[in-house]
Amino acid sequence: MSAATCNRCGEIIIWVTLQNGEKVPVDFIKVQFIGRNEDGKMGYLEGRLLHWDTCANPPEEDAK
């Protein structure tokens, strides 16, 4: 993981590398959510959200 600043909104983000090698930006702050753990049981989990979903100044989508 490496910390950086979002070029669009200025928030601190962290670049993480997924198991398939893809690098994605996530928010610095962890949040709690309900989901399934590694055993498949429902419960409270903690993690980071994709920054693409929370950016205050997201890129414009191409109008087609």
Identity of the amino acid at 11: E
- Tens of each residue's pLDDT in the chain, 64 residues: 789 999 999 999 999 999 999 999 999 999 999 999 999 999 999 999 999 999 998 877 655 5
- Determine, yes or no, domain membership for 48: yes
Structurally, the chain folds into a number of domains equal to: 1
Report strand pairing: 31-36 vs 23-27: unpaired
Q: Is residue 10 part of a domain?
A: yes
* HSE value, Cβ hemisphere, 13 Å, CA-based, for 61: 3
Residue 7 domain boundaries: 2-54
In a domain, 43, yes or no: yes
The pTM of the full predicted model, rounded to 2 decimals, is 0.75
Provide CB contacts within 8 A for 25, sequence distance 6+. 4, 6, 13, 14, 15, 50, 51, 52
In a domain, 46, yes or no: yes
pLDDT number for residue 2: 80
In a domain, 63, yes or no: no
Whether residue 8 lies inside any domain: the answer is yes
Answer yes or no: is 21 within a domain: yes
Say how far apart CA 27 and CA 40 lie, in whole Å.
Answer: 25
